[in-house]
Amino acid sequence: MSMLLHIQLWVSKLYQTKLSLLRILLQSTFSNIVKGNTQHKGLLILGNGPSLNDTLATTDLKTIKRFDLLAVNNAANDDKFIQLKPSYYLLNAVTYFQEDHELNEFYIHTNHSLFESLKTKTTWDMTLLLPFRAKKSNAINSLLVANSHLKVAYFNQTPIEGFTCWTNRWYSKGLGMPRPHNVLIPGIMVGIRLGYRQITIVGADHSWLQDLSVNEHNEALLRHVHYYDPEGTKPMKVEDRIAEPRKLHEIIHKFYLSFQGYWTIKAFAKHRGVTIVNASKVSMIDAFDRKELMAILTEIEDK
């Protein structure tokens, strides 16, 4: 039976490898992919989980800014954005790059608020890290014209799976990544691409399961909870697809792929000689070592 399982796994990996190669050929862009030189500072990725408030409350700003900072998603809507002045800002979800007629009211309001915040609040040079699909976004192009402090670099968010020897090669070339169902996955992968040898994450609670529910109409609902809104939204349908809201098993499957992706990233980071540490006060991620921020800083600066 064990031999049969090994054969089944090998066949599955072979299929994933061939499918990923086809995705790369059809979906990936082969030039002008974000990259950088070896960085001597550490990169601190600021997740949007509620525990980021605890990190910011117990760590002085000077300590946090000893890292290069990467913010994500709707962080610019919060006043802390101006204090932190991140060097990088990453958007990943397709809803940020769709037109209003393709979205519901929740996403329309979210996008308008975010792009207005980025336009008016960013008074320092900051690089927007965006998937190549963002090049077609009218809102993004208007934002870049409106604020000269905003520069842009693009990455491939093509899902790549299969044999490790092949996936590591494609990851290293920036042609794709593990399935980017959470913004932290491209955040870490692009951080590696930028040349950082030490990547730390905070605010990565990932406590989504406790925010799931199903109502009397059998509709799967998710409450959105972030550091800038710790009380959270009311439970709502996940309407990030045009056709229909996601079903419960589809939502949970996305969670599964995210947590699985972190283990894939951990193996890739080891291959590249990159250290990833989770300094979140609260986190369900079980792939990365856990340490305090000050201990991480000491290790970086002692090298």
Q: What is the pLDDT of residues 19-62, one digit of tens each?
A: 999 999 999 999 999 999 989 899 999 999 999 999 999 999 99
The pLDDT, as a whole number, for residue 299 is 80
Whether residue 126 has pLDDT greater than 80: yes
The pLDDT, as a whole number, for residue 106 is 86
How many CB atoms within 10 Å of residue 146?
A: 13
Confidence of residue 242 (pLDDT cuts 50, 70, 90): low
**Are the beta carbons of 202 and 46 closer than 8 angstroms?**
yes
Identify which of 300, 273, 275, 272 has the alpha carbon closest to the alpha carbon of residue 290.
275
The pLDDT, as a whole number, for residue 243 is 61
Q: Is the dihedral of CA 193, 277, 177, 65 positive or negative?
A: negative
Tokens of 273: 């000689």
The pLDDT, as a whole number, for residue 291 is 94
Which distant-in-sequence residues (6+ apart) come within 8 Å of 230 by Cβ? 50, 53
Q: Which is higher by pLDDT, 267 or 236?
A: 267
pLDDT in tens, 129-142: 999 999 999 999 99
Mean pLDDT estimate for the chain: 94
**Are the beta carbons of 248 and 217 closer than 8 angstroms?**
no
Give the CA angle between residues 257, 258, 264 to the nearest 5°.
85
> In the predicted model, what is the mean pLDDT of residues 62-86?
96
Confidence of residue 238 (pLDDT cuts 50, 70, 90): confident
Whether residue 283 has pLDDT greater than 60: yes
Residue whose pair of structure tokens reads 């072979």 in the numeric block: 14
Confidence of residue 231 (pLDDT cuts 50, 70, 90): confident
Whether residue 212 has pLDDT greater than 80: yes
Confidence of residue 223 (pLDDT cuts 50, 70, 90): very high
3 state SS for the chain: CHHHHHHHHHHHHHHHHHHHHHHHHHHCCCCCECCCCCECCCEEEECCCCHHHHHHHHCCHHHHCCCEEEEECCHHHCCHHHHHCCCEEECCCHHHCCCHHHCCHHHHHHHHHHHHHHHHHCCCCEEEEEEHHHHHCHHHHHHHHHCCCEEEEEECCCECCCCHHHHHHHHHCCCCECCCCCCHHHHHHHHHHCCECEEEEECCCCCHHHHEEECCCCCEEECCCECCECCCCCCEECCCCCCCCCCHHHHHHHHHHHHHHHHHHHHHHHHHCCEEEECCCCCCCCCCEECCHHHHHHHHHHC
Question: Which range has the worst mean pLDDT, 141-145, 171-175, 198-202, 234-238?
Answer: 234-238
> In the predicted model, what is the mean pLDDT of residues 129-156?
97
Query: In the chain, what percentage of residues exceed pLDDT 70?
Result: 98
> In the predicted model, what is the mean pLDDT of residues 76-96?
96
Whether residue 86 has pLDDT greater than 70: yes
Q: Which is higher by pLDDT, 141 or 298?
A: 141
The pLDDT, as a whole number, for residue 1 is 56
